[in-house]
Chain A
Amino acid sequence: MQFKRPKTIKDTQTHYCPGCGHGIVHRLVAEVIDELGLREKTIGTAPVGCSVLLYNYFDCDIIECAHGRPPAVATAIKRCQPDKVVFTYQGDGDIAAIGTAELIHAANRGENITAIFVNNAIYGMTGGQMAPTTLIGQKTTTTQNGRDRKKQGPPLKVCELLASLEGVAYLQRVAVSTAKDVIIAKKAIKKAFQNQLDGKGYSLVEVLSMCPTDWKVTPKQAVDFVNNEMKAAFPLGVYKDV
């Protein structure tokens, strides 16, 4: 079997750290876009976060949004061009802290877009501060003794939160920390794009992902952290499928 670069990924080196999950997620999204033949009708939105530069890697139209605002931007693009395919790609700070309002309302309106949410339980780009999804006890540069439920609250669970919204069509939490997880993640992402083609409404795939750099661990330890800690706090599975 030959391991080829998807057409939707540019032939270039990424800026992601060794062991980072973003590269895997990029590849899966690009493979799905290729397989569904969507590259020439896709408009992606870049968030603010480590994946802000995703336009350097994706070979399709991309708009870079203000921090947290991709759901609002994507809403308008899809409404203006319903025949195109629109996806958002957001980190946990982007989607579940500064952009919570935009997320919930785009989801609740049932905007017919595909959302990829990369949950690495930390603020990657700004150097490892607490994210809304940081685990209890997890040490970050702004929770140096570990996240304290009493002070910072528990980690925010986006799939569980959105599951109650009638406008949402599809929610699945996956991981990219084992080969099996990657296969499941790709299926989920494909479904989230297919849903858009079928006009089903808002579909979101949450991907538990590694950030060895800001977790201050090795890539191998980062994989273990996702498998042992994150999956316990954020159970994998389908949260909604209508």
Chain B
Amino acid sequence: MSKPSKKILLKGNEVLSQAAINAGCGFFAGYPITPQNEVPEYLSKALPEAGGIFIQAESEIAAINMLFGASASGVRCMTSSSSPGVSLKQEGISYIAAAELPCVIVNMQRGGPGLGNIRAAQGDYFQSVKGGGHGDYRLIVLAPSTLQEIYELTMNAFDYADHYRNPVLILGDGILGQMAEPVELTKYRPIVDLPEKDFVLDGCKGRERRVIKTLLLQPAEALIEFNEYLKKKYAGIESELKLCQKYRCDDADLVVAAYGITARIAEGAVDMARDKGLKVGLIRPITLWPFPDEDFRAVAEQAKKLLVVEMSNGQMIEDVKLSIECSRPVEFYGTGGGWYPTSEKIMEKIESVYE
């Protein structure tokens, strides 16, 4: 008989922080912003105790640039923020993506635009998956929906970052960051192979000196070639790393699509619908980039209709429509402005669009 699992009660932000430590994160820099403050608070104590480095930066700009330096030093590193702060990080994210430095960035989204509010939201989908900074780059974007999944995906995020030499964004929200639930802190095990870090700047003792740079002036084609190379790298990630979960989709006439905490709320609505005899399922992308388009296409073959639910006025819906090439009608239910939808409201919407 297997041993009973040892679960402990933690907040999402704390789970994420502990996962980072367990995955060997050795450097964190961040700037306070609600609703992610528990991350720097937790790590300010626990990370140095685990032998890592914690810096409260003077701004989100400084924090992301500190990651640039930490990653160049070969250290697993993470920064965390919420929407307005993540906007400030975009310049640095573009440089890190261009320099192909691994790191993990956390966005516990809050209401926007502007200063918005401090409630949970999903208004940063476009910024996260379409590239909030300048240039032709991609982030791997992971969207957990439970605290157990925050724990696992955060550890995985460090592996993906190292494996693909690419920044990874964990896209959560104020609810996931603030809610508490029991989590089993399983042992960290790498899920992909981790290449040797042959880019690290640690002094050129016994080797040629190394340069990390993103300016490509000469020859004139250098930047074209580099972008071609990136395109191939991103295509490789797309072919390998599309994660998705389906729930009661097999015979579904209507499939609800949602990510993160919204998917969890939508699951409740799906169960209500099933109780009433409606054939409704749920599809939940776990990677928002790469977007699990094949899974969506497969679901759309069976379903007559899709219903996208987001804590925004409609962002992921564009990728859903693109994925299924508009082969089915796609309905939408969203709550912008830092409010979450309830299962009851989603159920109402399901009933109104169900045929």
Contact = CB atoms under 8 A, between A and B. Distances in A.
Q: Chain A interface: which size bin?
A: 20 to 34
11 contacts: A61-B202, A61-B211, A64-B215, A66-B91, A69-B62, A73-B69, A76-B67, A80-B53, A80-B69, A80-B70, A80-B73
Given A76-B29, A80-B75, A46 B65 contact: no
A72 B66 contact: yes
Contacts of B209: 59-62
Given A41-B205, A43-B203, A76 B211 contact: no
Given A52-B215, A64-B215, A66-B92, A76 B66 contact: yes
- Interface residues of chain A: helix, strand, loop or mixed (majority): helix
A73 to B, nearest CB: 4
A75 B69 contact: yes
B213 A69 contact: no
A149 B213 CA distance: 38
Interface of A: 39-43, 46, 52-53, 55, 59-66, 69, 72-77, 79-81, 84-85, 101-102, 104-105
Contact of A77 (B58, B62, B91, B201): B201
Contacts, number: 122
B160 interface: no
Contacts of A59: 204, 209
Given A61-B211, A77-B72, A80-B26, A72 B65 contact: yes
Contacts of B210: 61
B66 A64 contact: no
B69 A39 contact: no
B27 interface: yes
B62 A74 contact: no
Interface in B61-95: 61-63, 65-70, 72-75, 77, 91-92, 95
| Of B92, B202, B209, B214, most A-chain CB atoms within 10 Å | B209
Given A42-B203, A69-B92, A63 B213 contact: yes
B93 to A, nearest CB: 11
Contacts of A79: 27, 53, 55, 70
B211 A55 contact: yes
B212 interface: yes
B28 to A, nearest CB: 10
Contacts of A75: 55, 66, 69
Given A64-B211, A79-B27, A79-B53, 16 more contacts: A46-B213, A55-B213, A59-B209, A60-B203, A61-B211, A63-B212, A63-B213, A64-B213, A64-B215, A76-B65, A76-B69, A77-B70, A79-B70, A80-B27, A80-B73, A105-B62
